[in-house]
């Protein structure tokens, strides 16, 4: 009791009682629920169904208004699945298709006015005489019998750089203002991402007929810079528009040996990739020492990478607490990561979607069907599938 020397006798019992209470708190934590670690809610459980199988490198996927899925296969096919029928390859003019390395027939997007014009768009590597020339965005018109598609004029956009086919991008998405966005790769050329005169390592914005919107951030510079919405990207693989009327558009891109990224795209933003001199992949994905105003990623993988690919926002009450979350396909990670955002668009939780991890191999493309289910493409080179993922009823 020497530590209580000088304390009035009548206060000693109170001090001993307080000490006992503190000891109980330290031992049990029972009286401090505010500092206890919150229990993380379990991820929603899902059902996974194979919609189509026996495919070869399906890449982009989208939906017609009647819920018919349409997808590309990188080696040179555009396919649909109408109702319960087997997948059907559309008759389409793909003359000039270049397939090599990571490039071929890639992203696909359906025109918002498809019901009246029957247009859809694809990204395609282009060659002449066996020599790769560039990557182009082509427009097709689907026939009424959904058996074939005719090219509508020439390329809507040409001149996206290509080398051996490495870092070819190329993803497509429409935004609520009716413009088409194109996500491109840097073609593994170090000077491309920061060069506004190049269409590589960018996200681009154009009207569906190929015209350039005059309110694009670099329109006044003329030339290719007119198309640029954002720059400083390495290899854009996914684009997704947030379905809340905001027009928010997000991208996913591959890092080198670290820092795959998910970004919110801001008008005129520099995302900080500049692998010069040469093609120096040891530099940061978002180099804020060199570019203090570079836009930081909303999420990055760190090390190791997971090879982020397709993107899609989940929507509908059927997804429970994942309604409004962002789904991210992973090629190397062989799964789908779900990012929950707060009202400030910050990523506040990351989870793996159950039932997919290391089960179906590499996951490439994502798209949400009109009924809210998530469709995805695998990318294993053979025996690939289109999968439908929906939340189990609680």
pLDDT in tens, 161-185: 999 999 999 999 999 999 999 999 9
For strands 91-92 and 148-151, give the pairing: parallel
C-alpha dihedral, 122 to 125 to 128 to 131, nearest 10°: 180
DSSP code of residue 353: P
What is the tens place of the pLDDT at every residue in 344-393? 999 999 999 999 999 999 999 999 999 999 999 999 999 999 999 999 98
**The pLDDT of residue 38:** 54
**Please, what are the domains in the chain?**
47-391 (2.120.10.30)
Mean pLDDT of 45-59: 97
- The answer to whether the beta carbons of residues 122 and 105 sit under 8 Å apart is yes
Residue 185 phi/psi, 5-degree rounding, is -100, 170
CA atoms of 239 and 227, how far apart (whole Å):
17
Buried b / exposed e along 298-313 (16+ C-beta atoms within 10 A): bbbbeeebbbbbbbbb
Distance of CA 296 to the CA centre of its chain: 16
**The pLDDT of residue 117:** 98
Q: Is the pLDDT of residue 333 over 50?
A: yes
Which residue is listed with tokens 């009647």?
66
User: How many CA atoms lie less than 13 Å away from 278 in the CB half-sphere?
Assistant: 5
CA atoms of 129 and 280, how far apart (whole Å):
31
- The answer to whether the beta carbons of residues 274 and 283 sit under 8 Å apart is yes
Could you tell me the end-to-end alpha-carbon distance of the chain, in angstroms, rounded to an integer? 59
DSSP string, 41-61: PPPPPEEEEEEEEEES-EEEE
What is the tens place of the pLDDT at every residue in 235-269? 999 999 999 778 899 999 999 999 999 999 999 99
Helices (H) and strands (E) in the chain, counts: 2, 26
CA atoms of 374 and 372, how far apart (whole Å):
7
- The answer to whether the beta carbons of residues 379 and 331 sit under 8 Å apart is yes
Residue 16 phi/psi, 5-degree rounding, is -65, -40
CA atoms of 158 and 126, how far apart (whole Å):
9
**The pLDDT of residue 74:** 98
Retrieve residue 60's tokens: 């982009």
The closest of 244, 376, 231 to 315, measured between CA atoms, is 244
What pTM, to 2 d.p., does this model score? 0.89
The closest of 208, 209, 231 to 218, measured between CA atoms, is 231
What is the tens place of the pLDDT at every residue in 70-126? 999 999 999 999 999 999 999 999 999 999 999 999 999 999 999 999 999 999 999
Measured CA distances, 40 to 320, 350, 393 (Å): 15, 11, 20
- The answer to whether the beta carbons of residues 141 and 111 sit under 8 Å apart is no
**The pLDDT of residue 364:** 99
- The answer to whether the beta carbons of residues 135 and 104 sit under 8 Å apart is no
């Amino acid at each position: 009791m020497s530590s209580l020397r000088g304390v009035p006798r009548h206060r000693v019992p109170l001090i001993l009682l307080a000490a006992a209470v503190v000891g109980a708190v330290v031992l049990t934590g029972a009286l401090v629920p505010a500092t206890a670690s919150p229990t993380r809610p379990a991820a929603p459980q899902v059902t996974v169904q194979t919609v189509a199988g026996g495919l070869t490198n399906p890449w982009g996927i989208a939906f017609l208004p009647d819920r018919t899925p349409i997808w590309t296969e990188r080696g040179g096919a555009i396919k649909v699945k109408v109702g319960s029928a087997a997948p059907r390859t559309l008759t389409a003019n793909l003359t000039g298709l270049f397939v090599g390395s990571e490039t071929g027939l890639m992203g696909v997007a359906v025109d918002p006015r498809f019901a009246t014009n029957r247009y859809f768009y694809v990204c395609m590597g282009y060659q002449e005489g066996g020599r790769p020339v560039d990557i182009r965005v082509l427009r097709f018109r689907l026939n009424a019998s959904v058996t074939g598609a005719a090219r509508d004029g020439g390329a809507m956009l040409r001149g996206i750089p290509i080398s051996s086919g490495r870092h070819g991008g190329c993803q497509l998405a429409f935004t609520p203002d009716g413009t088409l966005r194109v996500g491109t790769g840097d073609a593994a050329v170090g000077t491309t991402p920061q060069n506004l005169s190049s269409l590589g390592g960018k996200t681009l914005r154009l009207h569906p007929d190929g015209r350039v919107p005059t309110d694009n951030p670099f329109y006044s510079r003329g030339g290719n810079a007119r198309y640029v919405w954002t720059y400083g990207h390495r290899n854009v693989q996914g684009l997704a528009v947030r379905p809340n009327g905001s027009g928010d558009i997000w991208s996913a891109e591959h890092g080198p040996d670290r820092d795959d990224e998910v970004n919110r795209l801001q008008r005129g933003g520099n995302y900080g990739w500049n692998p010069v001199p040469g093609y120096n992949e040891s530099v940061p994905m978002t180099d804020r020492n060199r570019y203090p105003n570079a836009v930081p990623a909303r999420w990055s993988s760190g090390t190791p990478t997971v090879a982020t690919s397709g993107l899609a926002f989940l929507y509908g009450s059927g997804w429970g607490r994942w309604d409004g979350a962002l789904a991210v396909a992973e090629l190397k990670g062989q799964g789908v990561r779900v990012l929950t955002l707060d009202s400030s668009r910050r990523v506040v939780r990351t989870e793996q979607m159950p039932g997919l991890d290391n089960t179906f191999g590499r996951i490439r493309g994502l798209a949400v069907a009109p009924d809210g289910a998530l469709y995805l493409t695998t990318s294993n080179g053979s025996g690939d599938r289109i999968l439908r993922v929906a939340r189990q009823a609680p």
